[in-house]
Amino acid sequence: MTQPQAILVLPHLRIQNANAIASPLTHGFPSITAFIGLMWALERKLAQAGVPLRFQAVGVVCHHHQEQVTQGYVRSFNLTRNPVDKDGSTAAIVEEGRMHLQITLVLAVSEKRKPGTPAALVQGNDAQQADWAQIAGDTLAGMRVAGGSVLPSRPVPGKRVRPWMAIVPDDPEAAAAEFRQWRRQWLPGFALVGRDELLAQRLQHLRTTQPDATLLDAWLHAARFNHQPLPSADCSPAPDGKVAWGDPLRPKGSGWVVPIPVGYAALAPQAHPAGTVRNARDANVPLRFVESVYSLGEWVSPHRLHSLTELLWQAETDEAQGLYRCCNGYRSSPLPCDGSNGTATSADWDGADAYDYT
């Protein structure tokens, strides 16, 4: 994506009972699509309040998370008992995953200007930007974030908890210097970034022994630990006869890589005309049935990011393929998939294929 005009930062939001089930196959943190939807909903509400801002992308930094599950080797969600039915019988338990969060949202912002009006989103117009940031924070306080409620932020010495805006310099070196200052405010925490290329490498690794392996096989393989005996450095047996076990594809320093949903894929080649599907949310727009699209993500400390594009997620639509997915600009030099010192090649890999859905 291109360099944003400005950023709107909503720091250290305390979210209660957010949705912990991101997709039919993953849990532990809300889907990035939930934050994309929040971004669009916030833009519409700000437009009603007279704030001429357009949101282009969103970045998520998690400072604390507490999933509401039982402790132990096998965990289950803490469920709530619903009130009895109108006839006095016991209501059915609907399993839902909930979690408490403390997150920072970073929104890429541009200004919606009317012809002939001066620009307000410029350097030096700090009062106007502070006012817009305050309105955005007040508006978000009455909204749902990934299904959770926003709690008031507690003032903490040395921690910036009020919303703020900043202009992104046009000069790349100046923008990088500003970003180094901003990312310090998001510590301690971890930013969710996309790692589609790791899925490509895992597929190549599997096909060395399983030529018919699919992207779904690679995704499931990367989503778990695959322990096996690890040979010593010189391939000689250990003096005590013990064998070290581990996952050779997850060596030390390989990162906190997780399976994540990144969007949706259409189930039919064409959308249903507006008003033809019963009980649709909006009868005035066409409807298309979809299923989840999956890829790999990584939690990275903000101080390891080099630019805003590595942090931000934006929505991309491919009507021809029926693909609606979120894309991230993070780039890294991943470790080889075989655990060796060589470099895994992916010259024949198309980045647009780094997803799978079921």
In tens, the pLDDT along 306-336 reads: 989 999 999 998 888 889 999 998 887 544 4
Q: What is the pLDDT of residue 293?
A: 92
Q: What is the pLDDT of residue 340?
A: 43
CA distance 189 to 175: 22
pLDDT tens per residue, range 120-168: 888 888 899 999 999 999 999 999 999 999 998 888 777 888 999 999 9
Number of neighbours of residue 193 by Cβ within 10 angstroms: 23
As a whole number of Å, the CA-based R_g of the chain is 23
Structure tokens at 16: 């209660």
Inform me whether the pLDDT recorded for 346 exceeds 80. Answer: no
Query: Three-state DSSP class for 287?
Result: strand
**Residue 245 pLDDT class (50, 70, 90 cuts):** confident
Q: What is the pLDDT of residue 81?
A: 74
pTM of the model: 0.84
One-letter amino acid for residue 137 of the chain = G
Check: CB of residue 295 under 8 Å from CB of residue 304. no
Closest alpha carbon to 58 in 128, 21, 4, 101: 4
Inform me whether the pLDDT recorded for 338 exceeds 70. Answer: no
Express as a percent the part of the chain with pLDDT over 70.
Answer: 90
Least confident of 25-34, 113-122, 289-298: 113-122
Inform me whether the pLDDT recorded for 187 exceeds 80. Answer: yes
Average pLDDT, the chain: 85
Structure tokens at 180: 């180094």
**Residue 343 pLDDT class (50, 70, 90 cuts):** very low
Check: CB of residue 133 under 8 Å from CB of residue 125. no
Q: What is the pLDDT of residue 1?
A: 65
Check: CB of residue 292 under 8 Å from CB of residue 261. yes
Residue 112 falls in which region: left (phi positive, over 0), alpha (psi -120 to 50) or beta: beta
